[in-house]
Every structure is written in C-alpha cells, then in structure tokens.
Amino acid sequence: MNILLIVGGLVLLILGGNWLLKAAVALSLKLEIPKIVIGMTVVSFATSAPELIVSVNAALEGFPDIAMGNVIGSNIANLGLVLGITVMLTTIDVERSFYKTDWPVMMLASILLYLFVFYDDVLSRVEGVILFTALIAFLVYLLKFQKPAVVDDYAEDDEPLELYKVVLFLVLGGVALWGGSESLIRGAVGMAESFGVSKRVIAITVVSIGTSIPELAASVIAVMKREKAISLGNLIGSNVFNILAVLGITSMVHPITVDKAFSSDLYWMLAFAFVVLPLVFLPKGLRLGWRDGLVLLGSYVFFVYLTI
C-alpha cells in the first residue's frame, strides 16, 4: 500500500508540474511580468502549499514543532537536493538582480527566523505577524520593481493561453501537486515508521523531502522545457514563502516551541542559503553549473547522513 501511494504521488506530481508550468509561462506573457516573478510568487505559492497544509494541520493537532522541522528540512532540501539536481541537469546563467534582491531576501528571512527563536526557543504570534507582514512587503516590491534575474534562452517558444485556460491549469497544477505530495508523504512516513525511525528524523528528512517534491517536479520540468527563470525563481521564492508564510501563519495559529534538537538544523538551513551566493560566482561568474550541483547535492547527502 505504501509503495502504491508513493508511485501514485509521483505520477500526480509530474502532471501537476507540467500544468503549473504551462499556466506560469502564459501568465507571465499575459501580464508582461518577468518569469522569475511568476516563479517566486504563483509557482512558489502553489509548490509551498503542501508545507502550509502540513504545518497548519500539525499546529491545530497540537504538534507545532513538526511545522518547524518541516520548514527547516524543506528549505534545506530545496537548495541542497532540488537546486543541486536542477543545475546538474542544466547550467543556469543569472543576472545581477539575483544577488541584489532575490538572494538577500531569502538570506534575511532565514536570519530573521534564527533571531526570533535564538533566545527563547519560541516563535510567538507577534513574531508570526512580523514574518507575514514582511512577506506582503516582499510581494509588493516584486510586482513593482523586480527585473529578470535569469537569462531566458528560448523566450520565442513561449505559448500564450486564454485566461480561463491559465486559471484551469493553475488550479489543476496546484491540486495535483498537493494531492501528489500528500500521497507521497503518507507512503514515505508509513515506510519510515515501519522501520522504527523517530519523529524528528521523519520531519526533517522524509516529510521535508516529500513536501519539497513539488518544487523538484516543477523545477525539473521547467528546466526540461527551458524555463530556467521559473525554476530558480520557484526555489528562492519557495524558501521565502516557507519562512514568511508557512511559519508566519502557523505561529499565528499556535506559537511554535522549538526543540533544542532543531538548533543544528537551523544552522544547516542558514549555511545552505548562504552558500548559493559564492557558488553563483565560482568557478565562473553569475552561473550555476554541474559542479555547483555536485557541491549542493553532496552537502545535502552529508546532512541527511548526520541526521539519521
């Protein structure tokens, strides 16, 4: 049964990633907005929906710490696993706005979360409101001022769609990604529990990887269809959404007490967020290639090994 849930989840994720990508490209054309903005908003919100649903449900059921483990693990997986695999498949050339806006916002959100929980090991309702307010400010800035941060090699291949089709593909893609991730998580957690794995390890690895699968599906499909801006924007935006929206909303529902065991995981999250910037400049400026992918993926495998 667990294997069937995993396979069914993967099928839904592939379909959902395709539909979401179609809608995202068409929406970018229709609104004349840079694709990275669509990636960091519409696609990120859709692919972060599993984290939000899992985290709020966990808080309502009296397990808000699972929400923290889920987000920290998911942010690490987004950069170590998903970005690592993505840039091993293709080289991504980035523009200056990546290190002037996109990366700094992700880094600041990560540092803000760390500072909020550093002294008292609690993410309070007030701090949740601050995080969510920062998200609104970020979205307003993106829509008004953001410029393309990734070179688009095949802009002429973009396919316009009628508005009702854009909405249809957005809804279908979002639902399929949510359903696929739920199915995958249930199957994976079921298998992990049958082997006697602890809840923290399940939250920081199995659940976080499971809720990062939509990002992986959307990013890999975007890369295969040469939509690199949507791929990178999705990952950066998803990490920002996870902290500012998922933890912001969850802590407003129920304050999150952070287990001491998550302290080292927070440092790992900060390290992965930071290391993306030097990788963009080394060994060749403003580019992420297969060597960078190996560094990210290798670091993620090492993190999982230490956690287990």
The answer to whether residues 89 and 279 touch, using CB atoms and an 8 Å cutoff, is no
pLDDT digits (tens, 9 = 90+) for 151-202: 454 444 456 777 888 888 888 887 887 787 678 767 777 777 777 766 667 6
| φ, ψ (nearest 5 deg) of residue 153 | -75, -30
Q: Buried (b) or exposed (e) across 213-242, using 16+ Cβ within 10 A?
A: bbbbbbbbbbbebbbbbbbbbbbbbbbbbb
| pLDDT tens per residue, range 40-88 | 777 777 767 767 777 777 777 777 667 787 788 889 988 999 889 888 8
Comparing CA positions, the residue from 144, 228, 210, 214 lying closest to residue 2 is 210
Residue 154, C-beta contacts closer than 8 angstroms, at least 6 positions apart = 226
Query: What domains are there in the chain, each with its CATH number?
Result: 1-307 (1.20.1420.30)
**pTM to 2 decimals?**
0.78
pLDDT band at 203 (very low <50, low <70, confident <90, very high): low
Which pLDDT tens digit goes with each residue over 120-131?
Answer: 888 899 999 999
Banded model confidence at residue 144, pLDDT cuts 50, 70, 90: confident
Question: Using 50, 70 and 90 to split pLDDT, how confident is the model at 300?
Answer: very high
DSSP state of 258: P
